[in-house]
Amino acid sequence: MSSQDISRTDTSKKDISRRDILKTLGMGAMAGSVLSMIPAQAAEFAHHMILAEKAASPAAAYTPKFLRPQQYKTLQALCQAIIPPDSDSGGAIEAGAPEFIDLLSSENPDYQLKLGGGLMWLDETCTDRYGKAHLEIDPAQQKEILDLIAYRKNALTDPSLSQGIDFFSFLRTMTADAFFTSEIGIKYLGYIGNTYVTEFKGCPPVPGV
């Protein structure tokens, strides 16, 4: 076997490993939250993949793997609305949530249907209601449509919102999962990992007992 063949074999193994990890991460997240269903190491792997791509890019940018550029901009805007930055921490954008969601979706057909179909529904609904796609309407109108799809009870009075409500629920979960498995999110939680102690002094006394 030539050195070129060996190189191809090594590259193939890396590609298979990448796909397998992302698919496993995606399938687990479909059953619930990444934080409760997926090993933290798997989510960390996805975040590191994104950071490595940005580090290797001349523009320090991530290239969407599934979404078209305009769809990806809409995803960024939605993630920003779900977890905006505040005085204590960066938000979903700073945590890499859009990249995380797009990367997982690139290897998961169910995600592609939920994410791609949901973004299409959102733009079509905004066009019907306001005459423009979601990114082109004014902030008040953007808030209005997101308020409508943020609550399942709204589907009782307007069944046409059902797909949008399912999409936004999915997206909120994914955004939160991406945020709280990122470096920013872990710092925000104040998690420092398991700490070794030499003795256990028991629980503190309960006042009034």
Q: Encode pLDDT of 81-116 as tens digits.
A: 999 999 889 999 999 999 999 999 998 899 999 999
Q: What are phi and psi of 158, to 5 degrees?
A: -140, 90
In single-letter form, the type of residue at position 136 comes to: E
Predicted confidence at residue 29, as pLDDT, reads 52
Separation between Cα atoms, residue 206 and residue 191, nearest integer Å? 25
Contact yes or no for 132/126 (Cβ under 8 A): yes
Contact yes or no for 149/167 (Cβ under 8 A): yes
Domain boundaries, the chain: 3-189
The C-alpha angle with vertex 32 and arms to 178 and 117, in degrees rounded to 5, equals: 70
**Cα 14 to chain center, whole Å?**
23
pLDDT at 177 over 70: yes
Q: Encode pLDDT of 109-144 as tens digits.
A: 999 999 999 999 999 999 999 999 999 999 999 999
